[in-house]
Structure 1
């Protein structure tokens, strides 16, 4: 190499630390465009799938494959859904159902999280309570409806009692699994640095168990909504379930199906909210990074 070339290379010097390599900005922009196209394509496929199913149901009802006495055309159901959405009573019933759902979820969380942390942190306490947990957890919550009605009547307290009972167990088990799944090496490292138990809990145990807790809350949310509507259907407590029963009793089938669709939309919205919160709060977790990358 000539002296001039060597001097020129030396004068150019190494690239400053932190400076992106050539083409990095274009590569990142291309990845963003690809991710956006993938999201648009996925959204298009989902919408197309829903429209295909609705069109098939409409066609089957119109040509007589499904009796209109029991399965009204989809267009009539969604027309009734639009009329309900424009009225006040629908939103009142949704609020009544969600009121019991929210109170039950909050109480179950406040009970299950500290108990789960205690049982997950102490092997003796976990073994002592394991039989009780495995006995109570499979009890069908619907079987407790007569007891709940006898004690609390058919109001909000009855729904809250059933929701707390049924959602307590998935949250409790997820907290226990999360606390027990903490890497012992990380615990020993924190202990060797002299961190007190409270600091180890906040810096090691809680972050490690957070994904488990989020999963338990998301599962409990869906179960709580199912149970709230079930209690309203069986007992006649105010809410969406009671409205469905009233529509069925009066042979208002488009309204009945419209209310069932509303129930499904509420469940989908709640699950989406929990997923968005989980992604937001746990964006540092590898599982969320993999989900974003996909």
Structure 2
């Protein structure tokens, strides 16, 4: 079994990942057919795929997908904007950091789902209710990362720019941004995933239009295969978001040492 402990190269890792997915899909198909799991509650993969194909042919599915992506995009955009501005202020100004540290540590651990009653009370079951959950959950990822990046700016480089009386715009672009950008990109990647999770959660619990609401409707109507098909769609959506953000990260940070090391593996 020595090969289990041997580091895999990029091609071997890719094939290992494919093999893992294939084994998982085979289990989804075989276990219900053999009676290992109840097919009424967990239908075989072939039925789920058939239900997915049927769903793809309906305008309701594409409308729900568009609603989910719209809610996710708006919530993510607002979270990133707030997180970047607040993170730069908190990380770049020590006095602000001292005044806000305790408040942030108190508010950050509160799960956003705890605000569902308040969101419904304020906005009903509309998109704004789910946006409240998304913004509260996703803004912390961006704020904390940008704050760390602002604190990590080289004080020697900053003082040198100040002593030479470089314009503030020059200092921002050439000193602050190169340091903060890797942190901000990491925060964006984390916020994108969290925002999608909360978008689906809001649709599931609050009833905001989207894929989550379709899942609830399928579950309540007994369309189990269709329900699992929609769950698979949310999984593929999450995977697509992660892949796209990773590609953006490599493009934006192509000059950064971490990206160059990753490309050499």
TM-score (norm. length: structure 1)? 0.84
2:136 equivalent to 1:165? yes
2:118 equivalent to 1:147? yes
1:94 CA drift (Å)? 0.9
Separation (CA, whole Å) in 2 of partners of 1:253 and 1:238 = 20
CA contact (8 A) 2:130 2:206 kept: no
2:86 equivalent to 1:115? yes
- Provide the residue aligned with 1:56 in structure 2: 27
- Provide the residue aligned with 1:253 in structure 2: 224
- Provide the residue aligned with 1:24 in structure 2: none
Q: Describe the superposition over 1:65-117 as per-residue Cα deviations: whole angstroms up to 9, x where unpaired.
A: 11101110011111211222233221111111111111111111121211211
- Provide the residue aligned with 2:157 in structure 1: 186
Runs of 4+ in 1 over 4 A off after TM superposition: 38-41
Q: Give SS of 1:262's match.
A: helix
Number of residues paired by the alignment? 257
Q: 5 Å matches for 1:1-294? A: 40-294=11-265
Gaps of 5+ in 2: 1-8
Gaps of 5+ in 1: 1-37
1:191 CA drift (Å)? 3.3
Q: Give SS of 1:68's match.
A: coil
Q: Could you tell which deviates more after superposition, 210-219 or 110-119? A: 110-119
Separation (CA, whole Å) in 2 of partners of 1:181 and 1:261 = 40
Separation (CA, whole Å) in 2 of partners of 1:76 and 1:186 = 61
CA contact (8 A) 2:142 2:188 kept: yes
Q: Describe the superposition over 1:139-172 as per-residue Cα deviations: whole angstroms up to 9, x where unpaired.
A: 1111101111111111111111211111111111
1:188 CA drift (Å)? 3.3
1:292 CA drift (Å)? 0.8
1:291 CA drift (Å)? 0.9
Q: Could you tell which deviates more after superposition, 75-84 or 98-107? A: 75-84
Larger Rg over CA atoms: 1
Separation (CA, whole Å) in 2 of partners of 1:180 and 1:206 = 12
Tell which has more relative contact order, 1 or 2 (C-alpha 8 A, sep 6+).
Answer: 2
1:40 CA drift (Å)? 4.8
TM-score (norm. length: structure 2)? 0.92
CA contact (8 A) 2:148 2:183 kept: yes
Separation (CA, whole Å) in 2 of partners of 1:42 and 1:284 = 25
Separation (CA, whole Å) in 2 of partners of 1:40 and 1:208 = 33
Separation (CA, whole Å) in 1 of partners of 2:24 and 2:83 = 40
1:192 CA drift (Å)? 4.2
